């Protein structure tokens, strides 16, 4: 019997749900993830070698996740490609899903190509950090990196740590740090109290519809209160200082637009600071697949999907954080809808109604949280001429500003060569959105909001690997 072959990229909440639904609808599934274990960011699993007695510590919804992992990975129609990255998509036939080029970890020559009937892209997001003087010092971590080390390795990034930025994600990060053994000196939320209260408590019946996520937030708040961690609203880290590594941070009260209130600066001694200003979707594969995006500014661009999670690109579905930052429950619902349709499941299947409702409620909940924690327009006021903007290449704010005002470098690509911002090992994953936003504010005519995500090669590939013959996987 000929079955549809569905390739799912990403084994986070969205990709796992997509694989599960596609299997239920009768497809053959190849599930690919660059990580060794499924789970993505939300269910970051400890390595097997740790032989953890309680792997569920620090996790919500572990039992359901564990059941799903076992069901999907043990399924006889599922091929699980762990430690395998998708480095390129190639469309041979405009009416069909693109070929998927994968690369296994380790030795050169482990290059392969998958030929799906339908593709579900669920690669998630990166965490975003706005630059400030001193953020290049050792001891400054992204909130996501600190969370990953705590959850995935049980490693604490410091003994006395501050958590700063904006958004509800700061809460689980602070709690993970406590669990990993750090003392959390303070949590600094840049959004003001009135805005946060309005955003969180407006239309309380919507909170009831998201009981799981609301319960999670309440449990984090309670854990911080028990540990007597100060949670300060309307305050931001505007500088990190130290001799060779972070020894102290300077925080300041900020107005609604995140301009600093003069005289409100205060110094706190810490040996690490974890900073997060929301998330940036990982759009490179979607842009490479030719999927249309929505959102007109570089800091708010997501892939466009219809009610079935189908993108504008034939045979390509998208789910999870790439369609909008809406949290794990919404990602799971989106993944299930995408996987079912990618597999050719009946469009009138009953469970779809509940899944779509869950997805829409999740998106609404996330929308109100995002509205409570917007990035203030005046954050560039924290920058000085010598503030590093691209940490890989150490490009500073003065060079980005000069390039934006120079008629010879008005083209974003030319400016990139001139400033080197975005040319280092992370290929702009950390700084490209920030540089694009700064250039827009400085009047440079960069029109394309998706430009920071244009990376035809999504992962580094060695010449030896390219030269070696590719293995064909038929799923």
Q: Minimum distance from CB of 284 to ligand FAD (Å)?
A: 8
Q: Minimum distance from CB of 407 to ligand FAD (Å)?
A: 37
Q: Is the Cβ–Cβ distance between 342 and 317 less than 8 Å?
A: yes
Q: Minimum distance from CB of 30 to ligand FAD (Å)?
A: 12
Q: Minimum distance from CB of 277 to ligand FAD (Å)?
A: 12
Closer residue to ligand FAD (CB): 285 or 293: 285
User: Can you name the residues that pair with 468 across neighbouring β-strands?
Assistant: none
Closer residue to ligand FAD (CB): 331 or 419: 331
Residue 273: alpha-carbon gap to chain centroid = 19
Question: What secondary structure does DSSP assign to 140-187, as a single string?
Answer: EEEHHHHHHHHHHH---S-SEEEEEEESTTHHHHHHHHHHHT-EEEEE
Q: Minimum distance from CB of 280 to ligand FAD (Å)?
A: 8
Q: Minimum distance from CB of 243 to ligand FAD (Å)?
A: 29
**Which residue's structure tokens are 């995500």?**
453
Q: How many angstroms separate the CA atoms of 360 and 206, rounded?
A: 11
Measured CA to CA in angstroms, residue 472 lies from 69, 98, 99, 101, 245 at distances of 25, 14, 11, 10, 48
Q: Minimum distance from CB of 36 to ligand FAD (Å)?
A: 10
- What burial class does residue 59 get, using C-beta atoms within 10 Å of its C-beta: 0-12 exposed, 13-18 middle, 19+ buried? middle
In terms of DSSP H, where are the helices of 25-89? Answer: 62-73
Nearest CA among 446, 441, 398 for reference residue 418: 398
Structure tokens at 98: 């693109």
Closer residue to ligand FAD (CB): 180 or 328: 328
Closer residue to ligand FAD (CB): 127 or 393: 127
Q: Minimum distance from CB of 418 to ligand FAD (Å)?
A: 29
Q: Is the Cβ–Cβ distance between 335 and 16 less than 8 Å?
A: yes
- What burial class does residue 283 get, using C-beta atoms within 10 Å of its C-beta: 0-12 exposed, 13-18 middle, 19+ buried? buried
Interface ranges with ligand FAD (CB under 6 A): 9-15, 32-35, 40-42, 85-86, 122-127, 144, 147-148, 172, 279, 282, 285, 320-321, 327-328, 331, 458-459
Q: How many angstroms separate the CA atoms of 157 and 180, rounded?
A: 9
Measured CA to CA in angstroms, residue 302 lies from 6, 294, 318, 326 at distances of 23, 5, 10, 12
Q: Minimum distance from CB of 443 to ligand FAD (Å)?
A: 31
Closer residue to ligand FAD (CB): 10 or 98: 10
Closer residue to ligand FAD (CB): 168 or 315: 168
- What burial class does residue 7 get, using C-beta atoms within 10 Å of its C-beta: 0-12 exposed, 13-18 middle, 19+ buried? buried
Calculate the dihedral angle through the C-alpha atoms of 401, 405, 407, 408, rounding to the nearest 10 degrees.
Answer: -10
Closer residue to ligand FAD (CB): 250 or 288: 288
Q: Minimum distance from CB of 126 to ligand FAD (Å)?
A: 6
Q: How many angstroms separate the CA atoms of 382 and 260, rounded?
A: 8
Closer residue to ligand FAD (CB): 14 or 19: 14
Q: Minimum distance from CB of 170 to ligand FAD (Å)?
A: 11
Closer residue to ligand FAD (CB): 85 or 387: 85
Q: Is the Cβ–Cβ distance between 86 and 102 less than 8 Å?
A: yes
Closer residue to ligand FAD (CB): 62 or 279: 279
Calculate the dihedral angle through the C-alpha atoms of 139, 145, 151, 153, rounding to the nearest 10 degrees.
Answer: -70
Closer residue to ligand FAD (CB): 28 or 282: 282
Q: Minimum distance from CB of 64 to ligand FAD (Å)?
A: 14
Structure tokens at 301: 């661009």
């Amino acid at each position: 019997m000929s079955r549809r072959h569905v390739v799912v990229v990403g084994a986070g909440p969205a990709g796992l749900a997509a694989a599960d639904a596609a299997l239920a609808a009768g497809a053959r599934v190849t599930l690919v993830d660059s990580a060794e274990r499924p789970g993505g960011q939300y269910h970051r699993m400890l390595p097997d070698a740790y032989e953890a007695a309680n792997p569920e510590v620090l996790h919500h919804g572990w039992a359901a996740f564990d059941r799903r992992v076992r069901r999907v990975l043990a399924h006889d129609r599922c091929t699980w490609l762990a430690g395998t990255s998708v480095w390129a998509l190639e469309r041979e036939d405009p009416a069909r899903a693109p070929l998927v080029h994968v690369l296994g970890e380790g030795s050169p020559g482990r290059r392969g190509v998958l030929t799906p009937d339908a593709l579900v892209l669920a690669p998630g997001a990166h965490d975003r950090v706005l630059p400030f003087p001193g953020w290049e010092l050792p001891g400054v971590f992204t909130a996501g990196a600190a969370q990953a080390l705590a959850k995935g390795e049980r490693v604490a990034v410091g003994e006395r740590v501050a958590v700063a930025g904006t958004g509800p994600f700061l809460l689980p990060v602070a709690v993970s740090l406590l669990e990993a053994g750090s003392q959390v000196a303070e949590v600094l939320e840049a959004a003001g109290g009135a805005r946060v209260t309005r955003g969180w408590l407006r239309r309380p019946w919507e909170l009831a519809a998201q009981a799981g996520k609301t319960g999670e937030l309440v449990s984090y708040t309670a854990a911080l209160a028990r540990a007597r961690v100060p949670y300060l609203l309307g305050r931001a880290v505007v500088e990190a200082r130290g001799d060779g590594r972070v020894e102290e941070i300077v925080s300041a009260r900020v107005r609604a637009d995140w301009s600093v209130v003069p005289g409100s600066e205060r110094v706190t001694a810490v040996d690490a600071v974890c900073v997060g200003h929301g998330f940036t979707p990982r759009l490179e594969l979607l842009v490479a697949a030719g999927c249309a995006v929505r959102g007109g500014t570089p800091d708010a661009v997501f892939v466009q999907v219809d009610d079935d999670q189908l993108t504008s690109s034939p045979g390509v579905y998208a789910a999870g954080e790439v369609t909008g930052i809406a949290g794990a429950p919404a990602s799971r619902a989106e993944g299930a809808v995408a996987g079912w349709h990618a597999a050719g499941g009946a469009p009138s299947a009953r469970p779809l109604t509940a899944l779509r409702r869950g997805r829409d409620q999740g998106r609404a909940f996330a929308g109100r949280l995002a509205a409570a924690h917007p990035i203030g327009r005046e954050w560039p006021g924290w920058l000085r001429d010598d503030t590093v903007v691209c940490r890989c290449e150490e490009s500073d704010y003065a060079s980005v500003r000069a390039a934006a005002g120079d008629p010879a470098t008005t083209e974003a690509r030319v400016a990139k060569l001139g400033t080197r911002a975005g040319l280092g090992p992370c290929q702009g994953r950390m700084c490209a959105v920030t540089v694009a936003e700064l250039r827009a504010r400085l009047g440079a005519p960069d029109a394309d909001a998706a430009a920071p995500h244009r990376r035809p090669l999504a992962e580094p590939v060695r010449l030896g690997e390219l030269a070696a013959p590719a293995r064909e996987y038929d799923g």
